[in-house]
Amino acid sequence: MKKHLSVLLAGLIIAWSASSAFAASGHDAHGSTTDHSGHIGEKIHESTVEGYRLAYHLLDLPGREVKHLITYIVDTTGKPVNDAKVGYLVVGPGGKEQMVMAMVMQDSFGGDVDFSLKGNYTIKSKAVVGSKNLLDRFTLVVD
């Protein structure tokens, strides 16, 4: 299990280094077509990568400093993806990095991330859905 996690995280880092290929994939944070009525947490970002719709939500965890970062993935036919591997690389203020493997949830994937410091957080995600590697990146400002 640890070996698989290490391989996936190494793949995340390598994939993000190839940002020129990433920049060519179509992202659309505006004009949302995803129904968020069944989603938990606050929506913080939404984009389209290779025809898949990715919606990111943050859920407060009472009594804890960390928040639960949740990714909802909808395939090209409009159905929720439940069989994928999702990981995050979060770079916070001062360059502090957090690597998180998301766990499978109902129609989503989530992991705990520390957003306790104020400032900008760059969130990079990789979702492996079948043979597709869906790479996404956005910035979250914590006030």
Q: Is the pLDDT of residue 84 over 50?
A: yes
Q: What is the pLDDT of residues 86-139, one digit of tens each?
A: 999 999 999 999 999 999 998 999 999 999 999 999 999 999 999 999 999 999
What per-residue confidence (pLDDT) applies to 95? 96
Q: Percentage of residues in the chain with pLDDT exceeding 90? A: 69
Beta bridge partners of 42: 58
Distance of CA 70 to CAs 2, 19, 35, 110, 114, Å? 22, 23, 15, 4, 13
Mean pLDDT along residues 62-82: 95
Mean pLDDT along residues 46-50: 97
Contact predicate 100/111, CB 8 Å = yes
